[in-house]
Structure 1
Amino acid sequence: MIDVELRHLATMVAIVEEGTFGRAGTRLGYTQSTISQQIAALEKSVGGPVFERPGGPRPVRITPLGAVVLDQGRELLAKAGALSDAVERFKAGDGRIDIGTFQSVSNVILPSVVRRLRDEHPGCEIRLYEVPVDPQIGDLDLLFYDRPVDGDVERVKLVDDPYLLVARPGDLPDGPVPLKRLDGSPMVGCHATCDEVWMGQALADAGARPRIVFRSPGNEAILSMVRAGLGWAVLPWLALHGSDVRSDDRLTIHELRPTPSRGIYLHWRATSSPSPLAVRAMELAAEVAAKVSADLTMQPQPDTPDHR
């Protein structure tokens, strides 16, 4: 493999475009002897002369070998320039970021993160992917999920997201509802794989087995069925926050006692350093999550006794 330095190729291009070693030196800020040394080093690398040197002020002429070197050299310099530009853009945060997400995060947290990233780095490319059940980090830069994922990853918990009971006005007295009250009640739920986190443990511990009458992965479909009177639903606060349920007079929200909850986690690969763009996305996600948590703690708490 020929060992050619890019600076020698750049010098060759300058000589071709300027016509003489002297004018090329002026353009590059080198002495003429430095120009000659660099071309000598280039010719040693490629094994032959790249210029015919007539001497004096007359223009130099490129040799057939030099024409080959010049043609390939221009391509190498262009690729090196593109590489340098890409690296600078990467360092500035204008690269690409791939983010795995799911419904609640996509509705509540990510819109603010994406908007601010694009405002700060208009040249960045953001790709979002809806993750399956039990996802892996794979080639993603960041992964949001409602529990820790397996693999060689680092993570941070962004939000503790409590589950709440959604019913119609008049279905239940005001105030918190014990989980035991859901035993045998008609319920509208997510797909079984979504429900396992809270139904499989929290309800079982409370001795409650609700009767699932409809399942859907979409929160809006679930809420529509609650409005229609098909059954109640247990949904995380983040999902309800994104749907603006508190302003809907066709629905009421009740705390559950004890309160099931899930964590919202942000993951990234432990085996590689996050890009500047990913680091900024992580900072923004933490800021947005802190505001969401503040909204949660500011919600008015029921002051009536538990419904039993």
Structure 2
Amino acid sequence: MLESRHIRTFQEVVREGSYSGAARALGYTQPAITQQMKALERAVGMPLFVRAGRGLQLTEAGTVLARHAEVIVGDLTAAQQQLRALARLESGLVRICAFPSANATLVPDAMARLLATHPGVRVELQEAEPPESVHRLVRGESDIALAFTYPGPQAEMPEELVEVPLMEDLLTVLLPTGHPLVRHHAVRLEDLSNERWIAGCPRCRANLLHLCAEEGFVPDIVFSTDDNLAVQSLVAAGVGIALMPALVLSFLCHSKVTGRVVARQPTRKVSAYVLRDHLRIPAVELVTEELKAAAATRVGC
């Protein structure tokens, strides 16, 4: 097998025309250069140089190797430069897969911080609700997955994943601005038992049903969508009310919609998930830390 250090030394011998010249250029001793060239000739299986007066002349095998050595050394040098850039966080691509309200809040905050300090790092953003976001991570389609869980039994996570808790996100009720309960700072779910409801993703819908069951009623769900903007429009149009995370309130677009905290203050846990081995990748570790910092500014939302 050809070793890269031998190829580099060979290229210098060709450039200088002698072992002694290569030794001076590389800061080695001449015997060290000789030993490396002997090792390279053993790997090739034939001589690379013959003596020509006081200098060296390439054999046919040496000529073939010399033609390729420049490309090999150039590629190795380029690879080393790119790897050093990745290690120093001067470059790198991180793929994030997150649920919609995180994409609209946590991710932009984290990216603003990231680009202020490490402008060479690039981010590719995907969108999926859990558990699909986590499945993409396991399949190797993303590097970081943002997902949320509600209190209660949880599906077991694959052993190769590391959970990085980010925040507890309060749940709120979206009401039309003319609703009688808007005048209250907090509302009780039992006071909304006769309302029509708009449900979110399957995981959110299950949590809504669970919370309402604890209050002794079954919500009348007339519409289901995981589109946060659509939910707001539906509430504004009077179609129904919705139980939404507080993160959504930061990009509430409709003047005809008002968010109110639920009296018992239910929450969902928002976490980042990363493959255990990927935490050693500098850019992935950095982006994870920036997501933690972004979430810390929203604790208590």
5+ residue gaps in structure 1?
A: 297-308
- Equivalent residue for 1:232? 241
SS in 2 for 1:163: strand
Q: Is the 8 A contact 2:199 2:205 kept in 1?
A: no
Query: CA-to-partner distance for each residue in 1:27-56, whole Å, 9 max, x for gaps?
Result: 222344433332223223322210121132
Aligned-partner Cα distance in 1 for 2:67–2:118: 36
Mean CA deviation greater in 199-208 or 236-245? 236-245
Q: SS of the counterpart of 1:292? A: coil
The amino acid across from 1:125 in the alignment is R
Cα pair distance change 1:89/1:197, threshold 3 Å: farther
Q: Gaps (5+ residues) in structure 2? A: none
**Deviation of 1:290 (Å):** 0.9
Partner amino acid, structure 2, of 1:95: G
Q: Aligned residue for 1:300?
A: none
The alpha-carbon deviation at position 22 of structure 1 amounts to: 3.4
Does the alignment pair 1:209 with 2:215? no
Q: Deviations over 1:190-210 (max 9, x none)?
A: 24x143342131111112322
| Contact 1:182/1:209, CA 8 A, preserved across alignment | no
* Structure 2 equivalent of residue 188 of structure 1: 198
**Structure-2 change in CA distance of 1:96 and 1:27 (3 Å):** same
**Distance in 2, Cα, partners of 1:28 & 1:76:** 18
1:104 is aligned, of 93, 101, 105, to 101
Corresponding residue for residue 116 of structure 1: 113
2-side partners of 1:121 and 1:29: how far apart? 36
Whole-angstrom distance in 2 between the partners of 1:167 and 1:47: 81
The runs of at least 4 aligned residues of structure 1 exceeding 4 Å deviation read none
For residues 195-244 of structure 1, give each alpha carbon's deviation from its aligned partner in whole angstroms, at most 9, with x where no partner exists.
33421311111123222232322111111122222222221100112336
Matched residues in 2 for 1:67 and 1:194: separation? 66
Q: Does 1:30 align with 2:28?
A: yes
Supply the AA of the counterpart residue of 1:270. R
Q: Provide the rounded CA distance (Å) in 1 between the counterparts of 2:262 and 2:43.
A: 77
Structure-2 change in CA distance of 1:180 and 1:117 (3 Å): same
Post-superposition offset of 1:110: 0.4
Q: Which region of structure 1 is more displaced relative to structure 2, 8-17 or 76-85?
A: 76-85
What CA distance in whole angstroms lies between the structure 1 residues aligned with 2:298 and 2:158? 28
Identity of aligned residues (%): 25
Tell me how far apart the structure 1 counterparts of residues 228 and 211 of structure 2 sit (CA, whole Å): 20
Q: How many residues align?
A: 287
In the alignment, what sits opposite 1:151?
158
Q: CA RMSD in A?
A: 2.3
* Mapped partners of 1:36, 1:184: distance in 2: 90
Give TM-score, length-normalised by structure 2: 0.85
Per-residue deviation, 1:121? 2.7
CA spacing shift, 1:5–1:270, aligned 2, 3 Å: closer
1:241 corresponds in structure 2 to: 250
